[in-house]
Each structure stands twice: as structure tokens, then as C-alpha cells.
Amino acid sequence: MKRAFFSFVAICISTFMLFAQEDEILLTIDGEPVTKAEFEYIYSKNNNNVFSEADKKSPEDYLDLFIDFKLKVIEAENLKMDTSKSFINELAGYRNEIAAPYLTDSSFDEQLVKDTYDRMTREVDASHILLRLDPNATPEQEQEVLDKINAIRQKILRGRDFGDAAVEYSEDPSAKDNKGHLGYFTAFMMVYPFENAAFETPVGEVSEPVRTRFGYHIIKVNDVRKNKGEILVAHIMKNVAQNATEETKAAQKEKIDAIYEQLLNGADFAELAKKESDDRRTATEGGKMPWFAAGRIIPEFSTPAFAIENIGDFTKPIETPFGFHIIKKLDEKPIAPFEEMKTEISTRIKRDPERSNSSQHAFIAELKEEYQFKENELGNKELAGKSIQDSAEISNQVLFTVDDKNYSGSDFTKWLEASNEPNASYLSAYDKWVDAEVLALEDSKLEEKHPEFKYLMQEYHDGILLFNISQEKIWNFASQDTAGLEAFYEKNKGSHMWGERFKGSIITCTDAAVHEQADKLFAAEMNNDEVMEHINVEGELIQIEDGAWEEGENPIVDYYVWNGPEPADFNSELTFIRGDKIEPEPKTLDEARGLYISDYQKYLEEKWIKELRSKYKIKVNKKILKTIEGV
């Protein structure tokens, strides 16, 4: 409800006021000035957003609405509503939300989306060697693994075969079988640091060591090609278990070759898949698999699949770690244009912390330069040899300076205690602390640097106060003030009237005999309950619905009372009415409680506004008001 209320407030009192310069004062409320420029912008914006021309207001009429709003906010402030813990926490929550876009580089974000799409138009074929390392490794462990992988890289640069080195050294379990070969992949298929290195390393070369959450990698780029998009294929598979004997493997190869011969002779691929394929998940669909890109399936399968030139063609039997396959190309679709994909790319970037954080890191680098960030090299050397888990003490010397403020070892210690940083090296935690403090500095300057942010915060500040005081003074009060509501009803009971109605009963019988029996009982002046008790001895033979209906509310009543059309599936011999028309009459408070509460709220608000206008001094410069043009 409050979110919707703020949308209303935004329409009524937008605070996107980019008028920091001195301006003419249009009015003062309780001594608080409002400039002509501020009001002019708000008036123009809100009257250009109305649904129809009839809803547009003149500056004079709109000024009254604006003054009413300001009066309520001032009253809430004077009641100290802006000092409550709930208000402070709620405003802080909104501030965090609206500050987020200001604490990153939107131009970098846009470029990141474009660069990511550019990568998606290409596919990299790469191999890698991995040496595993925990993300929270100590500096000594980090250096040990880095030295080791650098030594492996040097051996490869001196001529050692990359695949052989992968078999010998890589801690990726699949390397024993694939020699580190990953096949083709594009953006979003690998962790971000790995992707960066793969796309930035020239074909045929080996990257510098790359740190990911898995450890250190070196990457050899084998090829780069245009992204072929996604393909839709069907396959027929003969499974070969990893521990299968040569005889079993040969038997399966013989079967797949026989199937291939049938296909060459014109057999239906889908029917053979249903009958012969060992992949029962796809066999029922004629072997059809889900759409996939090259990097989503092992290269032994995807490479021959993407090599099929024409839709409808199929491969010779190919071998993968799972057995033998024949693959048929059913359809293909290229990568979509950038305009169609940019929203999806942006969403995927935001879901990937490593990728989305890259824009923040770039933004922080800009802030460091702007605020003249300087590090104390001696302090950093002290941190390099210590680990948080060892509870090693650090001195209180200055570690860095930013915006002419020094940050010391004690500041770092306080941040570590507050952030619950997991066991790690001081040096890795230090980088997070620096980023946090630089962002906090920028956060503290948002109102100063961005007038639109300042006034947007003012909008939320005023909006929360308006909601809270309206809820207390009007909305909740009106529904809880029973005596006041009843007194208001007595004064205004003709405000909500029933139209002409039929008041009585709709009677439905199971057959004509029951109808006849009911007529006799009603003629004997029995009431509805007595008639039902008399007839429904052996089952529900008659139903009676009591009520009062206006025209248009019930088709059966409309048919009998107001000559309406005959209802569908209606039998006049079995359904009839008893009762009379009644003249228009006021609705009772219970019958129209919601409407009268709404009226009572309006009455209370009008009364409240009169009190506020009497309580606070309002001064309008009518001469300046006349210079404001209507929209």
C-alpha cells in the first residue's frame, strides 16, 4: 500500500528539482520558503502527466493542493514523527535502494553489456590446467600455488606439449581424459575471470596465471570462431559403459553401423530412434534433444553436431565418452541482434556477482583518483605477512588516506569486527575494506554531488511522513471512531441510496408437484422456513433464497419484475418469486460501511486542512504566481 501511495505522492509533489541557484520566493509556509522554480517544475511535470485535459489544473488551483501537502508534512515534523526509529529505518532502507545506481558507473555498465554481446558473437576453443586453491588461502599458500603454475607455464613455453602437461599436473579431474581440452564456449559459460583471460589471449598462446574461486589456471587458446548460435538435433545412441569390455564396445559399434546403413537406405530417423536408441529420455520424441550452444555439451558431441551443414542431414556414427551416436540436424538459430538481447544480458550480468562487481571496481578506481587515494606502502607490507585466523595484531599506523582523511589500523580492526569477515589474510580483507570505505565516502556525498538525488530523498522523507500522519489522523481514525462514524451517518444517511428494489424470495422446486404443494402452503400463510420444513422431509425438494435486488442484479428477478429476458436454462414452472417492489431508501450504515468510512475520511481531512491552515502562517506572492504559465 505504501509503495502505491508513494507513486501518488510522486505525481502530486515530484521533487526532481534541479534549481540550486537563487530564485524568487513564491510562498512561505511556517517560515519555510518555496521558490518559483521549484513549484514551476513540479506544476509542469505533474500537469503534463494527467490522464485527460480535463484533469489539468491552473497554477492557482494546483498551488492549493501543494500547500495542503506541505502543511501535513510540517505537522508530522512538529509531532516528531521523523525522529521515530521506524521512520529512520524505513527512510534508510529507501536510501539504500535509490543510492545503488549512483554507486556504480552506468556508462561502464552499458559498455559491459555491449562488450559481453560482442563476446557472445564469438566462440573460443581453449584448454586449461588448474591447480586448486581455497578462496581464503593464506598469502603463503597463494604464493606457493602461483609459483608452481608459473613453473608449469614456463615448461610449456619452452616446448612441453600443453595436453601432456595437463595430464600430468592439472587438478581438474577431466584432464586425465580430455588433456585439459574444454572445447568451444562463449560468454557466460565460464566463470568471469576465466572468460576474460580466454577472450583476451591470442590464438596459439598461453595466458598468464588466472585466479578464480577454484584456484589458478593457465589457458591455451586453440581457436576462435564466429558463434554459430544454437542448434536443434536428434540423435540415436548406443550406450557404452566406461568399464565395458572391448567385445561389448565392438557389439555396440556394429549395431550403430547397422542403423546408419538403414538410414542411408531411407529409413525414418525418428522411428529408428524410438525403437533403437539407448537414450530413452529422447527416444520417445524421435531422438530430439533440447536446443544447445556449442559449449553446453561435450566437444566430442557438439563439434560434429555443429559441423552438419544442412538441416535434415545426419552424421556418420561418432564416439563420445557415453557411447556411439548418429546426429541429425533439425533446425538452427543464430545469435539474436543486440537490441533483442541487451535486456537479457544486463539481467544475467546482475545475477553474476563476479561480472557485476567488475563495474563497481572500475567505479571505485575512478573515485580513488577523484578523492586522491594514497596508500602507506609500509602498512601494506606489515599486513602481507599476517592472517586473521591467527589473530595477529596490526599496528595503528595510517594505512591509507582518501579525501584528506586518514584510515588507520584501528579503523581496519573495527571494520573487521563489524563485517564478520571470514578467516583469511589481512591483505585480502584490506582490499574489501578500502572498497567499502571509498564507497561509503561517495555515499556520504550523494546529496552534495547530485541535486536530483537530494530531492528524491526529500520526496521519500515527505512521503513517509505524509503516509504515517494520514494513517493516524484520517484512515485508521475514521474506521476506529465508531461513535463519530455513526453520528456522521445520521447527518448524511441519504448520501448512499438503494434504487427501486424487489424484496422477497426466489423459490426453486424440483418438479411441478412440489411447486403446487408450495403454493398451497404459502396460501395457508406459512413462512419460508415452515414451507421448507414441511416439503423437505425426504430430501431437498425446494430451495428458497431471500433478499432484496435492484434491477440488473438477478436475472430471475429481472424477468418477473422488470420484464427482462428469460434467463438461460430457466423453467418458469419450477422457479417463481414472492414479494413486492419497494421504493428507493437510504442504505444502512452496515450496508454501505465502506462508502461512509470513505466519506468520513474525506470530511475529517477537510476539517483537518482547515485547522492546519489556521495553525500555520501561509504567505503567497501573488505577483510571482501570476507569472507562472499554465500548461
What confidence category does residue 19 fall into, taking pLDDT thresholds of 50, 70 and 90?
very low
How is residue 621 written as a grid cell?
Answer: 506572492
φ, ψ of residue 301 in degrees (nearest 5): -95, -45
C-alpha–C-alpha distance, residues 347 and 343, integer Å: 6
C-alpha–C-alpha distance, residues 189 and 574, integer Å: 71
CA proximity to 190, closest of 202, 205, 166, 172:
172
The residue with greater pLDDT, 455 or 384, is 455
DSSP notation for 87-141? HHHHHHHHHHHHHGGGGS-HHHHHHHHHHHHHHHTEEEEEEEEEEE--TT--HHH
Gyration radius of the chain's alpha carbons: 39
What confidence category does residue 389 fall into, taking pLDDT thresholds of 50, 70 and 90?
low
pLDDT for the residue numbered 118:
94
Asked whether the predicted pLDDT for residue 11 surpasses 50, the reply is no
Mean pLDDT (the chain, rounded): 89
Asked whether the predicted pLDDT for residue 206 surpasses 70, the reply is yes
pLDDT for the residue numbered 374:
94
CA angle centred on 521, ends 520 and 526, rounded to 5°: 145
Q: At what angle do helices 106-120 and 338-351 cross, to 10 degrees?
A: 110
Q: Which CATH architecture has domain 230-333?
A: Roll (3.10)
pLDDT for the residue numbered 423:
55
Contact 604, 474 (CB under 8 A): yes
DSSP notation for 461-526? HHHHHHHHHHIIIIIHHHHH-HHHHHHHHHHHTTSSEE-SEEEEEEEEESSHHHHHHHHHHHHTT-
C-alpha–C-alpha distance, residues 423 and 199, integer Å: 33
CA proximity to 545, closest of 537, 517, 553, 568:
553
How is residue 304 written as a grid cell?
Answer: 560434429
CA proximity to 589, closest of 500, 499, 488:
488
How is residue 107 written as a grid cell?
Answer: 556508462
Q: Which residues pair with 375 in a beta bridge?
A: 400
Asked whether the predicted pLDDT for residue 15 surpasses 50, the reply is no
**Least-confidence region, from 52-61, 508-517, 537-546:** 52-61
Percent of the chain predicted with pLDDT > 90:
67
pLDDT for the residue numbered 595:
95
What confidence category does residue 362 fall into, taking pLDDT thresholds of 50, 70 and 90?
confident
C-alpha–C-alpha distance, residues 277 and 615, integer Å: 86
What confidence category does residue 299 fall into, taking pLDDT thresholds of 50, 70 and 90?
confident
Question: Domain residues of the chain, as ranges?
Answer: 122-226, 230-333, 371-444, 497-586
What confidence category does residue 9 fall into, taking pLDDT thresholds of 50, 70 and 90?
very low
pLDDT for the residue numbered 10:
46
Contact 577, 561 (CB under 8 A): yes
Q: How far is the CA of 582 from the CAs of 61, 158, 330, 503, in angstroms?
A: 44, 105, 73, 7
Other residues' Cβ atoms within 10 Å of the Cβ of residue 76 = 22
pLDDT for the residue numbered 50:
65
C-alpha–C-alpha distance, residues 619 and 342, integer Å: 52
The separation between the first and the last C-alpha atoms of the chain, rounded to the nearest angstrom, is 31
Contact 145, 216 (CB under 8 A): yes
pLDDT for the residue numbered 422:
59
Q: How far is the CA of 415 from the CAs of 41, 218, 410, 429, 432, in angstroms?
A: 43, 35, 9, 10, 10
**Least-confidence region, from 233-247, 309-323, 353-367, 519-533:** 353-367
* Signed CA dihedral, 46, 52, 54, 55: sign only: negative
Asked whether the predicted pLDDT for residue 280 surpasses 80, the reply is yes
pLDDT for the residue numbered 16:
38
For residues 399-421, average pLDDT: 88
Predicted TM-score (pTM) of the model is 0.57
C-alpha–C-alpha distance, residues 142 and 10, integer Å: 53
For residues 59-77, average pLDDT: 92
Q: At what angle do helices 426-444 and 353-370 cross, to 10 degrees?
A: 70
CA angle centred on 102, ends 101 and 107, rounded to 5°: 75
Secondary structure element (H or E) that encloses residue 330, with its range:
strand 323-333
For residues 439-464, average pLDDT: 88
575's torsion region: left (phi>0), alpha (psi -120 to 50) or beta? beta
C-alpha–C-alpha distance, residues 242 and 556, integer Å: 76
How is residue 393 written as a grid cell?
Answer: 595484531
C-alpha–C-alpha distance, residues 433 and 416, integer Å: 8
pLDDT tens across 256-275, in order? 999 999 999 999 999 999 99
Percent of the chain predicted with pLDDT > 70:
93
> Locate cell 521506524: which residue?
86
How is residue 627 written as a grid cell?
Answer: 507569472
**Least-confidence region, from 73-87, 101-115, 197-211, 310-324:** 101-115
Q: Which distant-in-sequence residues (6+ apart) come within 8 Å of 334 by Cβ?
A: 227, 228, 229
SS3 of 543, please?
strand
Between β-strands 398-402 and 405-408, what pairing exists: parallel, antiparallel or unpaired? antiparallel
Is-same-fold flag (122-226; 230-333)? yes
Q: Which fold has domain 122-226?
A: Chitinase A; domain 3 (3.10.50)
